Every structure is written in C-alpha cells, then in structure tokens.
Amino acid sequence: MSSAIPLTGSATVDAALQSAIDAISDSFLIFDASDRLVAFNAAASRMFPQLEGRLVPGLRFRDIVQLSANTLKEHDYIDDADLWLAERLRQHALPLSFSEARQPNGRWARTEDRGMPNGGRVVITRDITDEKHHSDDAARYTSLLRGTLENISQGLCAFDRDYRLITWNARYFELLDLPPAYAQVGTPMIDIIRFLAKRGDLGTGNTSELVKQTYATATSAKASIYERLDTRGQLLEVRIRPLADGGLVATYSDVTERGKAERALRESEERYALAAAGANDGLWDWNLGSNRIFFSDRWKQMLGYATDEIEDGAEEWFSRIHPEDVQRVTAQIDAHLNGTATNFESEHRVRHFDDTYRWMLVRGLAVRDGENNAYRIAGSMTDVTERKRAEEQAIHDALHDSLTGLANRTLFLERVRQALARQRRSLSAQFAVIYLDLDRFKVVNESLGHVHGDDLIIAAARRLEQNLKFGDTVARLGGDEFAIMLEDVHDKEEGTALSEMLQKALSTPFVLGGKEVFTTASMGIAHSTDNYVRPEDILRDSELAMYRAKELGKARSVAFDPAMRGTTVTPLDVETDLRRALDRNEMILNFQPIVSLADGRIRGFEALSRWRHKERGDIPPSEFIPIAEETGMIVELGQWVLRNACAQMVEWNKEFPDQGPFEISVNLSGRQFTQLDLVKMVTNSLDGTGLDASFLKLEITESALMENAQRSAQMLRHLKDLHIKVCVDDFGTGYSSLSYLHKFPIDTLKIDKSFVQDMGRNRHNLEIVRTIAVLAQNLRLDVIAEGVETPEQLAQLRAIGCGYAQGFLFSRPLTADNVRHLLAENRVW
C-alpha cells in the first residue's frame, strides 16, 4: 500500500514519482517542513508491520515513532518506550542520523534520517538481517577460538605469597618486552612494576603513584581484569587471580588485532579447524538469537553420526538428552545465562546413534554484551561414560559384599531403616530380622582351605536367596555371618517358622571340592513390633539371640528376649564387637598435647585410640588392645589410627599456622612393627593425607625394638629414609642395655610416667629422670616426660633440662573438637 498528496501540481508527474518510490525495496517516508507525512512507498508497510493500514498523509512523525515504540516494548525488544522515543526524536532533529533496531517481526533494520533544503525530511530504512547474521558468525568463530585456545597466545606469570616471581613463560617476557635480567626466580614483582612505570607502559602521571596503584591492584586478593596500552601501541588484556595460599597468577593477552575483523575471521577459522580436528572433546557454539548451534565434527562422531547427519538446530542436542535429565539440564543452562551460576557444567545422558545413552560432561561459558546479557554460549562435551560406570560400580561395591554380591551391612541397615519408617506409617508393615552364623565354617575353612571356605559362603548365600520371597533382603555382614530381613512378618511365630525353613534349606549337604560338606546355622530373630527406632538396635538384638542359640547347642533359632541384654559380656563379645568397631564408626581418636618446656607452648600431640561402643559405652584400651594384639586386629586398627591422625594433623597445621607446625606421635605395637608392609602402610597414609613426613613421629617400645634387633635397625632405617621421626616409648622400663641407642636411628626418648610421677617422693626416680635427660642431650635426642600432673613436677623437669612433657597438668586426652578449642586459646604453661 502507498499513498501521496500532490507534490508538483501535476497528477501525471505525481503518479510517476509515486511509482518511482514504490519501486524502491527500502522503506521510503517523506515529511514536509511541519514534520507531517507527505509520501511513502509500499516497502514501508512491509518492513514495519505495525504501520500496516495506519500510514496516511498528514500523519506526524512523532505519532509514527510512538506507535513503533509501543510495539517494540510489547515484544520486549526495548526496556523503556519513552526513552527510546526521546532518542529517536533527538536523532530526527539532526541534519543527518543513522540508527539500527530490531523490528517486531524479528528482523533488523538500519534507518537513515536526512533533512532536505526545503525543511522537510526523508527517512529511508533498509533490512540488514542477513548482514547481522554474517557479523554474528564472525564474532562466533572468534569467540570460540578464544574459548578453546585461550592460553595459547597468552603470557603467564606467577608470584608467591611474598610477591616474588616463581614461574613464567616466554610469551610473558615477549609481550611485556622485559630485559633478561628480570627472568630470575625470586625477582620482586615491585621491581617489574617500577621498570614498566619508568618506561611509560603504565600510563602518564607520577611514576611513584602509578607503581603504588598497580601494586595495590595486583595484591588486593581480588580477581581483576583490565586492559593496558603500552608505549609500543600494544594493547594488553591483563587477568589477575589470587592464589588460595597467597600470591597470584597473571595472564597477558595481546588484543591489539581485535578490530581487524576480516583477518581475525580467516585466522580463527583456520585455527579452529586445527583445534577441533585435534581435540578429543566435542565442541559446540550456540547463537541464542538465531537458536542455531554449531557442532564440531568430533561432537557428532561422539554420538555415532557423520558430519552431515546432524544439523545446527538446538533440538539436535535437546531431543537427544535423556527424558529424566532434560529439566535439570535446562535449569542449569538458565542459571548460567541469567547470571546465577558463573558457568554451565552438567553431567547428563545423551542418546547415541545406536539408541544407547552415553554419559556426557558438558561445559559452557556465555558471551555477554555490554549490558551483561548473554547472546551466545560455547563450550565442550566430554564422554564420561566409563567414569560414571566406574562410579556406579564403586557405589555398588560400597553397598555390597565383594565375595557373594549380597548387600553388606551398610545397605542392610538402610533397608531396615526404611522398613522401620514404613511401619511407623502403617502398623501392618511389620518385619523380622534374622542374624545367622554358620556353625562349622571354621572347621571347613581350616580343613579344606580358604578357597573352599569361600565356596561354602557363596553357596550358602545362594541357598538363602533361593528360599526368600520377593522383597526380603539377605546380607553378608562378614566372615560366616549373614543378616536377613523378612518383610510382612506379622508375629514372632511366623518369623520363627521362616527361620526353621532356612535351617532346613542349609541342612542339605554342600559339595565342595568333590566332597559333601554338612553345616548348620545358629539364628537369632528380632521382630519389629518390639518398638525399635534405630536399625542398629534390632540388628544388635537379633545378634544377641544368635549367640544365645550358640550357647544352647547351635543349629537352632532363638527369638530375642529383652533379658538377653543383661548377659555378661565376655572376651568373645569384645572380640566380636571389635571386629566390627571400625565399620560401625565406633573407634575415635583422642589427642594429648605435648608441650615444649622451653616456651610452654603445644608442639605436638599423641594420638590415642578410644572405643565408644554404641551399647556398652566407652571401653578402655586396656580391655580391647590386648585382644586386638592377640587376634591380629591391631594391624587394621593401627592403619586406621595412623591415617586419621595424619589427616587431623594436616587440618590443624592449616587451621593454626601461627602455632604450628605440630607433630603427631602414633604408637606402633610389636605386632605392627613386624609387618613386612609397614613402610608401605606408612607411606600410603602420608601420601593419602598430604602430611609432611617430618611431622610424623612413630613411638615404639624398647621390647618391640629388641625382639629382633637386626631387623628393627633395618626397618628404622627405611622409616628414617622417609624423614619420619622415631621415639622409644616407655624408656627405662624395658631392655636393660643402653647400647641399642647407638645402633638404632632414633630421635626421641619418652620417659615412662612411673619415674616422673614419683620424682617428688623418690630421690632415686628424680636422678633416673635427670640421667635420661642428660643422656638424651649428649646423644642429641629429644626427651619427653609423660605423666606430668603437678606444677612441682613441671618445675623439676624444667630444672633438669627436659625438653618436652605431656600429662594431665596440661590436658587430658581430648577429642578433635576439644583440641581445636584448646588451640584457639593459645595457652602457654
């Protein structure tokens, strides 16, 4: 549609003029000196759909622009219609103005608004959508190259907490044009800044102030990004990121060539092709405006597709995401685009060409405009299927017995916990727990060997599974012990009947190694109707009932009776519970401070294991350590103590750097000291926790050292090669000869508390302590007095030159939390 009013007074001429402007593909509007519409062409209505049917001669320019502003606001292309209108009217008043804007139909237009000698205006608008797309493509390739290879052309340097140079690359010195004299480890950052300031690279002005400002920015402990133009006309982008332990890392990028679009595009396409061809990850770049995603060839190959089999639509990605993951992935992308998350990172399943799902780790970073609005997001896709399978297998292994594949204690207790929750919601959801122990397993294991012993465990597990209904759970708790949860057992008689059925199933002989093997089982039954709250309680009671079945002659089932809880605890009970103490997290560590008598401050701790039994409370070391030694469990317990003590010391040394570093003393039993893999165990604990070996001290008794002096000396040398310290514990109470002090590479003597506590009453003991202290000084050994309880004992020890002490005077053994409170007080004795 087009219209005109007479322009020449000649209808023929006016019609010719109208035909001429209608033939123009650009929008064409002519206004008179009063700013009213005189003529327009058909392209105006096509380009501005909001003006369709509303363009009439005499319409004011302001009314046309007002209508456009309202329409653009409705489509959210502008935020403030009044502000946009004012700016457009301001441009209209200029002799000549140009502007670009997105139209309600989604297309882009460029407008030329030109004044005429007669006071009128001509407004010509051209569709530039294709041109904009071409510009977006250029920016996309450039940004993708920067995102993929951002460090290739960067200079990099790092400074320590004292802001001295510790590392750099050649590009750093090249970009900053620094003299070779500065390429030295330890060069102060302030010297480099002064050099750059004097050369004029930091700008104009007072050199001292420039140095001060630049140094303050770099050392502010805040990440910063800025650009700097040096004296050579080189524009550098500087990125500074502080390090957690002090110091910083800085990168320098030459961004001088950003304005050269054509060359940058050509180079980016070439480099991107090389990078994408060599990368193992799939690359993608999503233009949010056009909703087109560029997928690299590798991205397509990872999903089993050829290059031309996947187009550039966003649905090519999202339609392949697992239905259970789509909502989460969409939310993660939105969180990054709206600025809630600093980056996009998601692990989700993507459908492969073969219709299987692969786990992919997808990362992306948005590109934002001057108003921080994201208009593109680019990133990579990594196939992590094997890692996810390994993680799932690890989770399965953590919840299942490796020999039988049955649920383990952790999973069993979780299912009992769920069953208790169901029963609380509905009293009809009752169940029973059976604790089962094979009666003759030890005989089979010792007679036929461990292989056939394992075969018996596996066969028994399969037989139990076969005789349970769907929904029941059977678990192996360790050794020859199993636990069974029977669902929908409504009374104790039903539970007993089911246990007898299992007894019968196990009574059929097993064939192992060509021989028939007979076994029976002792079973204890606990029913959920006995008001249980914790799953551990019902399992405990079923275990007590099982032991009662053992006492009554084995091969039977016994229902739990509360009176069984009063049964006297025997060493067998202790041994049984000790075997599970670590799994049940019943073992804890206490720490007793070791104080330097020179300055009265804490210099280390001795780690002491404690058993906090869930039913019996605290069990003293004197009750469980001998049993652990006798059964060999001391080795596993010792590993646990060493690993956790080292980990705790790493934590405290980080938390209290002004008081540390602290040493940790860990006792080695005679049984542990004879283990062939002792050095490996210690090394694994140090490597696993990150503790410096020089902060670990192993305490060994005299008797343990002298049991095999030659082997002990060899073992100690291996430990000393790791820079671990060695302490002779309870010195003075064991081997009578002192000659071993010269033979063994030891660092510390610990005086037994029996000598220390009697110093005030027994002159003889005081002299023994004095002699040991002098002996240690002459041999350049540290000496620790243990059992210090009174200020008088402390004064005597200081007087005779004892270096360190520990005892109740300073602190009883404390939990880790209480040690933290003690260190926070920073006490001095």
What DSSP assignment string belongs to 451-474?
HHHHHHHHHHHHHHHHTS-TT-EE
Of 94, 127, 160, the one marking the end of a domain is 127
Q: At what angle do helices 678-689 and 633-655 cross, to 10 degrees?
A: 30
Segment 388-403 mean pLDDT: 87
Residues of the chain with pLDDT > 70: what percent?
91
Does residue 242 sit within a domain? yes
How many Cβ atoms sit within 10 Å of the Cβ of residue 682? Answer: 23
pLDDT at 137: 67
Does residue 576 sit within a domain? no
Please name the residue ranges forming H helices in 690-815. 702-706, 709-721, 740-743, 753-757, 763-778, 791-799
- CB-based contact 104:50 (threshold 8 Å): yes
DSSP for 398-421, please give it: HHB-TTT--B-HHHHHHHHHHHHH
Range picked from 640-649, 706-715, 746-755 for highest mean pLDDT: 640-649
Segment 703-731 mean pLDDT: 87
Does residue 250 sit within a domain? yes
Pairwise pLDDT comparison (288 vs 46), residue with the higher score: 288
Please state, in angstroms and rounded to a whole number, the distance separating the CA atoms of residues 221 and 540: 54
pLDDT at 140: 65
- CB-based contact 88:109 (threshold 8 Å): no
The count of domains in the chain is: 5
Look at residue 146 and tell me whether its pLDDT is greater than 60: no
Residue 346 pairs with which residues in a beta bridge?
362
Does residue 137 sit within a domain? no
Q: Same structural domain for residues 304 and 370?
A: yes
Look at residue 736 and tell me whether its pLDDT is greater than 50: no
Confidence band of 397 (pLDDT split at 50, 70, 90):
confident
- CB-based contact 818:785 (threshold 8 Å): no
Of 73, 98, 127, the one marking the end of a domain is 127
pLDDT at 84: 86
Confidence band of 600 (pLDDT split at 50, 70, 90):
very high
Does residue 305 sit within a domain? yes
Does residue 135 sit within a domain? no
- CB-based contact 509:520 (threshold 8 Å): no
Q: What is the CATH number of the domain that holds 689?
A: 3.20.20.450
Is residue 503 classed exposed, middle or buried when 0-12, 13-18 and 19+ CB atoms within 10 A define those classes?
middle
Look at residues 430, 388, 395 and name the one whose alpha carbon lies nearest to residue 410. 395
The conformational region for residue 792 under phi > 0 = left, psi -120 to 50 = alpha, else beta, is alpha
Parallel/antiparallel/unpaired status of strands 696-701 and 663-667: parallel
Query: What mean pLDDT, rounded, does the chain reach?
Result: 86
Look at residues 482, 329, 316, 350 and name the one whose alpha carbon lies nearest to residue 404. 482
Q: Same structural domain for residues 442 and 360?
A: no
Q: Same structural domain for residues 548 and 432?
A: yes
C-alpha dihedral (412, 415, 420, 421), degrees to nearest 10: 150
Peptide bond into 661 cis (omega under 30): yes
Segment 249-266 mean pLDDT: 66
C-alpha dihedral (252, 258, 259, 263), degrees to nearest 10: 130
Segment 793-800 mean pLDDT: 93
Please state, in angstroms and rounded to a whole number, the distance separating the CA atoms of residues 521 and 526: 16
Segment 587-613 mean pLDDT: 95
Please state, in angstroms and rounded to a whole number, the distance separating the CA atoms of residues 496 and 527: 10
Q: At what angle do helices 571-581 and 621-631 cross, to 10 degrees?
A: 80
CA angle 252, 254, 256 (to 5 degrees): 145
Confidence band of 150 (pLDDT split at 50, 70, 90):
very low
Q: Is 737 helix (H, G, I), strand (E, B) or coil?
A: coil
Tokens of 145: 């190259």
Q: Is 803 helix (H, G, I), strand (E, B) or coil?
A: coil
Give the range of the structural domain holding residue 498, as residue numbers without chain letter: 400-565
Is residue 432 classed exposed, middle or buried when 0-12, 13-18 and 19+ CB atoms within 10 A define those classes?
buried
Please name the residue ranges forming H helices in 57-180. 61-74, 81-92, 129-148, 170-176
In tens, the pLDDT along 267-303 reads 554 555 555 555 578 999 999 989 999 999 899 999 9
Parallel/antiparallel/unpaired status of strands 37-40 and 96-102: unpaired
Look at residue 642 and tell me whether its pLDDT is greater than 90: yes
pLDDT at 396: 84
- CB-based contact 189:248 (threshold 8 Å): no
Confidence band of 6 (pLDDT split at 50, 70, 90):
very low
Half-sphere exposure of 630 (CA within 13 A, CB side): 11
Q: Same structural domain for residues 712 and 601?
A: yes
Please state, in angstroms and rounded to a whole number, the distance separating the CA atoms of residues 78 and 86: 13
Q: Same structural domain for residues 513 and 637?
A: no
Please state, in angstroms and rounded to a whole number, the distance separating the CA atoms of residues 19 and 375: 41
Tokens of 183: 């390429």
- CB-based contact 435:542 (threshold 8 Å): yes
Look at residue 260 and tell me whether its pLDDT is greater than 70: no
In tens, the pLDDT along 487-518 reads 988 888 888 888 999 999 999 999 988 888 89
Q: What is the CATH number of the domain that holds 60?
A: 3.30.450.20
Please state, in angstroms and rounded to a whole number, the distance separating the CA atoms of residues 799 and 775: 15
Of 95, 127, 159, the one marking the end of a domain is 127
Q: Same structural domain for residues 693 and 803?
A: yes
Please tell me the chain's helix, strand, coil percentages from 3-state DSSP, rounded to the nearest 5.
Answer: 45, 25, 30
Please state, in angstroms and rounded to a whole number, the distance separating the CA atoms of residues 222 and 299: 36
Pairwise pLDDT comparison (172 vs 106), residue with the higher score: 172
Look at residue 551 and tell me whether its pLDDT is greater than 60: yes
Confidence band of 12 (pLDDT split at 50, 70, 90):
low
Which amino acid is present at 614?
A: K
Range picked from 21-30, 644-653, 668-677 for highest mean pLDDT: 644-653
Does residue 142 sit within a domain? no
Please state, in angstroms and rounded to a whole number, the distance separating the CA atoms of residues 246 and 163: 9
Q: Same structural domain for residues 382 and 417?
A: no
Pairwise pLDDT comparison (717 vs 703), residue with the higher score: 717
Start-to-end CA span in the chain (Å): 99
Look at residue 569 and tell me whether its pLDDT is greater than 60: no
C-alpha dihedral (769, 775, 778, 782), degrees to nearest 10: -60
Tokens of 217: 């920015």
- CB-based contact 537:514 (threshold 8 Å): no
Q: Is 787 helix (H, G, I), strand (E, B) or coil?
A: coil
Q: Same structural domain for residues 294 and 243?
A: no
Peptide bond into 813 cis (omega under 30): no
Q: Same structural domain for residues 502 and 353?
A: no
How many Cβ atoms sit within 10 Å of the Cβ of residue 627? Answer: 16
Look at residue 22 and tell me whether its pLDDT is greater than 70: yes
Q: What is the CATH number of the domain that holds 410?
A: 3.30.70.270
Q: Same structural domain for residues 234 and 293?
A: no
Least confident of 153-167, 503-517, 612-626: 612-626
Summary count for the chain: helices (H), strands (E): 30, 32
pLDDT at 608: 95
Parallel/antiparallel/unpaired status of strands 481-487 and 431-438: antiparallel
Pairwise pLDDT comparison (424 vs 602), residue with the higher score: 602
Does residue 141 sit within a domain? no
Q: Same structural domain for residues 123 and 159?
A: no
Least confident of 489-503, 693-707, 729-743: 729-743
Look at residue 568 and tell me whether its pLDDT is greater than 70: no
Q: Same structural domain for residues 665 and 756?
A: yes
